Amino acid sequence: MAYRVLGRAGPPQPRRARRLLFAFTLSLSCTYLCYSLLCCCDDLGQSRLLGAPRCLRGPGAAGGQKLLQESRPCDPSGPTPGEPGAPSAPAAGAPSPRLSGSNHSGSPKLGTKRLPQALIVGVKKGGTRAVLEFIRVHPDVRALGTEPHFFDRNYGRGLDWYSQITLEKTPAILSLKRPSRIFNMSRDTKLIVVVRNPVTRAISDYTQTLSKKPDIPTFEGLSFRNRTLGLVDVSWNAIRIGMYALHLESWLRYFPLAQIHFVSGERLITDPAGEMGRVQDFLGIKRLITDKHFYFNKTKGFPCLKKTESSLLPRCLGKSKGRTHVQIDPEVIDQLREFYRPYNIKFYETVGQDFRWE
């Protein structure tokens, strides 16, 4: 009988198993590598499209410091919460990726948009326009020529609408009690207040209104609820604006007195270089506006800027400035002086300055 011997299947070859394991490992590695590269490229593309925020270094030494700083470190704390409905505000000095305003030479400056570092907040008919025009002569200052009225009339438009400027003036802000809005924009903002004898200021205010609305009541009629009893009508804005001590109280709840500079409207006429020198000191810029920049215009009754290299003519304020005041009964003026006296004294004591309006 013949027998066929059937052989058993042996174990798999070790070399083949190693090859299969190597191929599997290589496949997983390639898959992971491709996935990582795709994600990385996508992130880079997003960064280029959206633009990564940058925190630039601030200016150098104070001697060469521009009032409009090119940049400041980012403030991670963000803005201080303000009144209900207030637009979101960037941290003080934080850059915004917008087109900046023109520099002093008129050439556009690209890169960042700046909120103002200083504001002329009042008072109406006190000399705010003169301060603004005089300070604009300084090469380290960029200031808006018109009044944007952002903090009173246009606040709802938001900070993105607000012009790129270093300094602006809206003289009605002080009496409208809007310190929280400025504080929310930047708690470091410097405030300039041009004050004037409140009686003279009220007459000037009335004179301006009368030129536009000749049918309004007389100054005496608007100033008093009962002139015989000496009851002054404080609801009339021309009277109320001159109650400086009353308005200042609300501002001092937000800003320290050291952050507010008071300009004398009277001394601005008699000594413009001296007053503007103190303004420049307050803003932390070099005293470049001096006596050589001014001459007294006898027709207008106040100083004007002399002609410069860029201007062939001297620069005076517009026709609406320096208009002749309406004649007021001297007894009315005396009554208003008595009314303002306690407010003036309290104002002197608060700011540490005697403006000698009595």
- 323 assigned binding-site residue: yes
Q: Is 125 a catalytic residue?
A: yes
Q: Tell me the residue type at 53.
A: P
- Six-digit token pair at 273? 């270089």
In 3D space, the residue among 347, 342, 355, 126 whose CA is nearest the CA of residue 249 turns out to be 347
Task: Confirm whether residue 322 is marked as ligand binding.
Answer: yes
Residue 181: both structure tokens together: 């809005």
Task: Single out the residue of 17, 151, 162, 41 nearest to residue 90, CA to CA.
Answer: 162
For tokens 């209900």, what's the residue?
Answer: 84
Residue 204 marked in a binding site:
yes
Looking at residue 71, its amino acid is: S
| Catalytic residue from among 113, 125, 169, 190 | 125
Which residues face 195 on adjacent strands? 264
Of 157, 150, 196, nearest to 173 (Cα)? 150
Q: Which of 82, 72, 49 is nearest to 158 (CA)?
A: 82
Nearest to 263 by CA among 182, 313, 191: 191
Residue 325 among known ligand-binding residues: yes
Residue 196 marked ligand-binding: yes
- In degrees and rounded to multiples of 5, residue 232 shows phi and psi of -80, 140
Residue 8 makes CB contacts below 8 A (sequence gap 6+) with: none
**CB neighbours of residue 138 within 10 Å:** 22
Annotated ligand binding at 127? The verdict is: yes
Q: What is the largest CA-CA distance in the chain?
A: 155
Closest to 161 in 3D by CA, of 89, 65, 64: 89
The answer on whether 60 is annotated among ligand-binding residues is no
Residue numbers belonging to the annotated binding site for 3'-phosphoadenylyl sulfate: 125-129, 196, 204, 321-325
Question: Catalytic residue positions?
Answer: 125
Residue numbers belonging to the annotated binding site: 125-129, 196, 204, 321-325
